Amino acid sequence: MPRIPTYDDVAAAAARIAPAAHRTPVLTSRTADEEAGASLFFKCENFQRMGAFKFRGAYNALSCFDSGQRKAGVVAFSSGNHAQAVALSARLLGMPATIVMPHDAPAAKVAATRGYGGTVVVYDRYKEDREAIGRRLAEEGGLTLIPPFDHPDVIAGQGTAAKELIEEAGPLDALFVCLGGGGLLSGSALAARALAPGCKVYGVEPEAGNDGQQAFRAGHLVHIEVPKTIADGAQTQSLGKITFEIIRRDVDDVFTASDAELVEAMRFFATRMKMIVEPTGCLGFAAARRMKNELKGQRVGVLISGGNVDLARFAALVAG
Ligand SMILES: *Cc1c(COP(=O)(O)O)cnc(C)c1O
């Protein structure tokens, strides 16, 4: 079993990423508060560098490399925000980054990753095994693989967003966190348990892909098929070993939100708060809105995880 990070790792990560990461704003909305009958505090990681919280975990993990690892560089598999987070962090820290992406990854994401200085290695997702490609790259070039969620330094870095939120908003009664593989949720739970012991911590997954909810309730990891949902940042098939250990210990429950609820939340953020939030970033708010009866009079934190959605897709979703 790999090392389980603690709150001390989150605090250390906060110091490490401070020179590079944005301290993102905590916004409030009178309309949201009136609708919920509660006080909502939105931690806006859609305004983080490269547009999502993933920068926190990637930058922290790469900052922990020794000199040999820095020289050889990092390798990551991802077609989403983790790819851009690793590529940007590597550039800032002056090390090479290789990102393994499927041949059918969106051109904009490939271009963004290259734009941050990453070398993109394309593979055919129907014919090639990305694990084998990664192992080969790691063995031949001595590269260090950084996974998107199941890594102690990644989890500790992701926990810094909730740490900042609680420090700024004060004690919370509940915290809603978007859930894919569980890096953000497990890091947030470490921060909340240390800084706001009475705070309930909830993960929120897409309805079509509730592997985390199933795992949480069953007490063991559950694997599912790639879920069909507009929440492309949470199309994971299973929680990680480390993230699950923390989630089962420190999280209070896992809920789901439907694609229609995510679109409603995107509309709310756009019209009321003038923000572009990607579908996955709306998971926490979508569940909090539905639970307004339980949350009456409470102080509620909502983590908005990212804002990377291309404009044509955004327009089609909110207009539809
Ligand atoms: C990766 C990602 C998530 C899910 O994070 P996990 O750490 O995998 O649970 C949620 N929202 C956005 C925008 C993401 O990029």
pLDDT, tens only, 255-308: 999 999 999 999 999 999 999 999 999 999 999 999 999 999 999 999 999 999
* Confidence category of residue 138, pLDDT binned at 50, 70, 90: confident
What gap in Å lies between CA 217 and CA 111, rounded to an integer?
40
For 296, residues 6+ apart whose C-beta sits below 8 A from its C-beta are: 37, 38
pTM given for the model:
0.96
Q: Give Cα 280 to chain centroid, integer Å.
A: 9
Q: 């959605």: which residue's tokens?
A: 309
- Supply 81's token pair: 């925000």
* E strands, 143-298, in order: 144-145, 174-178, 200-206, 253-257
pLDDT by residue (tens digit) across 166-219?
999 999 999 999 999 999 999 999 999 999 999 999 999 999 999 999 999 999
Closest by alpha carbon to 203, among 248, 164, 235?
Answer: 248
Catalytic pick among 78, 79, 188, 238: 79
* Confidence category of residue 146, pLDDT binned at 50, 70, 90: very high
Burial label, 3 (beta-carbon count in 10 A; 0-12, 13-18, 19+):
exposed
Is 79 catalytic? The answer is yes
Query: According to the model, what pLDDT value does residue 228 have?
Result: 93
222-230, long-range: CB < 8 A, 24+ apart: 229/259, 229/279, 230/206, 230/259, 230/262, 230/263, 230/279, 230/317
pLDDT by residue (tens digit) across 78-91?
878 999 999 999 99
Whether the CB-CB separation of 162 and 253 falls below 8 Å is answered with: no
For residue 144, pLDDT beyond 90: yes
Assess whether the C-beta atom of 280 lies below 6 angstroms from ligand 1: yes
Closest by alpha carbon to 284, among 309, 310, 266, 311?
Answer: 266
Q: What is the mean pLDDT of residues 90-112?
A: 89
Is 200 catalytic? The answer is no
* Confidence category of residue 124, pLDDT binned at 50, 70, 90: confident
What gap in Å lies between CA 189 and CA 273, rounded to an integer?
26
Assess whether the C-beta atom of 183 lies below 6 angstroms from ligand 1: yes
Specify the residue with its C-alpha closest to ligand 1, atom 5: 180
Query: According to the model, what pLDDT value does residue 127 have?
Result: 81
